[in-house]
Every structure is written in structure tokens, then in C-alpha cells.
Structure 1
């Protein structure tokens, strides 16, 4: 089924309960990884884990409710995962959310407060909690899903674009940590950014059968691109934005 680079790997997925999480849990499990998903919604997480485990023929897919807005809870999740499975080879960061306004003038700073927690604080917590375990791995990968808007914000999208840009900068700092830790031999672990315009999944298509979703990335294609990050050498993906949509 898949990707030799992922056989026997242990991958943590943050924000595993949504449509992108479901697709990612399944793809990583099919490729031979043990997948440990976290979400703040226990019911949604349990459904996603059960669906992926069943579809992947009983593969090791585990779910754990974690409050990623709490650094200690996130650190405990990382420690428990490494202790139980002996290693952590990846953290896929799928925590998402969007708020925007019609115009720049109507921007609400409440939207910024919401998005700063969801899109930046969770990245800070997962990267700080997992970076040492990822560095210990011979194939550690931190994968952030970002948006093209981070580099080309529209007037009504200021809070979202700024939060995504900050999350990217934080992830690139993690990449620099991996680069420096690798020394002259180059990094053995990597932090990479997958850039989409927006995501689309089956339920969205069913709700809007006439919509074209131009430039959107299907969650299945995103999951494939996530798995592919492990098939490339660390130096090739570390600190890079990998574009799944046209560059703005």
C-alpha cells in the first residue's frame, strides 16, 4: 500500500477529527505508520479514528483528546506517545479555522484573538512539545498546513492571513533548529510547510454541487502530499514551502 519511508513510523496528527484529519489518518495508516490522532472534540476524534482503522484493515490508529491550547497537556501527549511507542517520527499540524470580514475596515480584532489561539498558539505548543523527539528520530518531520493567503492577504482576510504568516515563520524557525542540529551532515529531521488555497471534501461538494472550488485541494490529495514528505530527504523539505496550489 505504500510508502516504505513510513513503514513502522509513529506519526502524531494534531486536529485529527476534521475531514483533512480523517483523510490523513487513513493515508498514513495505509502506508504502514502507527498513527496517534489528537483533537479537542472527543466524539469527532473517535469517529475519525474508527473510520480510519476500519478502512485501513485494523491498522494501529489511536485517538487521544488533547487540549492543544495548553502547553503542559501537549507536552504530556508527546511524552506519553514516545514512551508508549518508543519513538515519534512525525507531527502533522492540521488545526484549522477561519474568520474574515467583508472589508478591511470591518475587521474585528475578536477574530484575531480567536485565530491567534487556533492557528499560532497550537503550532507553538506542538512544535515545542515534539521537536526533541522529532530530532531523535532518523526521519522526523513536522508538517504545517498553511494557506496561500499568508503571502498575499486580501483586505477582508487580515487576521487569518497574518495568523497563518506567523505560524509559517514559527515553523521556519523550527526548521532552522533542525538544520543547526544536523551540523555539517545536514538535517536528519525536517519542518515543512504545505501551502493550499483552501481545502475541499465530499460533504462540501454535496452541499454545493454546482461549485467549481477552483484551486482548492481535495483532502485526499493533501493526505497524499503529507505522506510524500517522508519519501524525500530531510534537506530537500526542511524549511521549504511545498505548494499544492498556484503561487500567488
Structure 2
């Protein structure tokens, strides 16, 4: 079982759209995938199945051992794609993790999935917290959306320093450009020299596009909603890069 996370310390940068589309594209290739929506706002759950179809369960029952993780899973939202939807109680995840002594809570919670799941995708809230640290510890790779602006690049640099300082494995971090608007000079300039801007290669450049916003309106991943768009092609490029990261020899 491989574990990846989509994370950014900044909100509103296209993290959830990337997580949802990656999960769907992986499942389409027969990779048994679980998307865990760790963000209490529940955007992944909404994008995948609409606000009314997928309901989460209280976090306390999972962390207290009252319910196994299997009871939190909604199976086959699409073929080979399961979801653990968010719940408002996930806002207390950090508090619960701080109360644990062994520091392996998230790792232990995920362990029972290894027999039936090939890929776990964690859609993380935009915070620097104990939950963030545990995600960075357990994930094989962490995919970070970066808007091509100086402010977003500064956040990317701060994240790298945080990971280095905590010795969490800076090589796990894999950036990609998100919400790229080629009508803007700065965006075009940064997109033209991605490795210079980020310090490492970018896996993709997801455009700023109204069709991505329609995912929420329609409750569908982009590959189902508008597969022939530039945005859908860039999400496919992102998935191909992730697949190479995880399974190439």
C-alpha cells in the first residue's frame, strides 16, 4: 500500500481538486484507491458525490477504538474508489493526536487498510499542526499545489524549511503549479522556468479554469465532467507523474 497526501499551508489553491481527480484517475486504471478527506470543510466529499450523498462519522469513535476504520469507509463511490468523508469533528484531530503518547496514531489507523487498498490519498487541511507532522511522517510523497505568485512561492519555501527542521524528509515534497493563469505576466514568467522558481521540477501546471469550479456544482471529477479540456489533460499529467513517483523502478 502506498500513501500520498495533498497538502498546502495555504487554502484555496486547488489542493482538493487535485486530490479528487488523482483519486479518480488512479481508480480508472484499476488501482484500488481510498481518498480520506481530513479537512473538516469536506470539499473532497462534496466534489466526489455532492453534499447529500456522502456523510462522515464522528472522529472520536475511530480514535477511541469504538469503531474500526472500515465503518468510516463509503465503498465504491466509483469503481475501485472508496472514500472516508469528512466530518465536522475532524477539527479536533490535532487535539486527539496531541493526547496520544506513541505518536503513531495516523499510521496505526491506516494499517488495517493495507490488505485491500493499493493507494491511500490524504486530502489535508491547510494548517501546520501535529496532524500535518503525522501526515508528513506516514506519506510516501506529499504533493503541494503552488499558485505561480511570489506569495505562494514564499509559502512553498517556508514549508520546505519546516520539513527540513522537523527532519520529515524534504524529498517527499513534490510541487505542481495550480490555478495558473497565463493571461498574467508573472504567471507566464514563473511557468516558463518552473525548476528555477520551485527549486525542483513541477509535475504539472493546472490552469485556472471555470470548468474546475464546476466540479463542485456537478459533484463529479473532471475526467467525467469535461475530459477534453486543458485542465483535465494537466490532471492526467499530474497523475502520470505521481504513478511514476510511486511505482517506477
Q: Name the TM tier (shorter chain).
A: 0.3 to 0.5
Instruction: Give the TM-score normalised by structure 2.
Output: 0.46
Greater RCO (CA < 8 Å, at least 6 residues apart): 2
Compute the TM-score of the two structures, normalised by the length of structure 1. Answer: 0.46
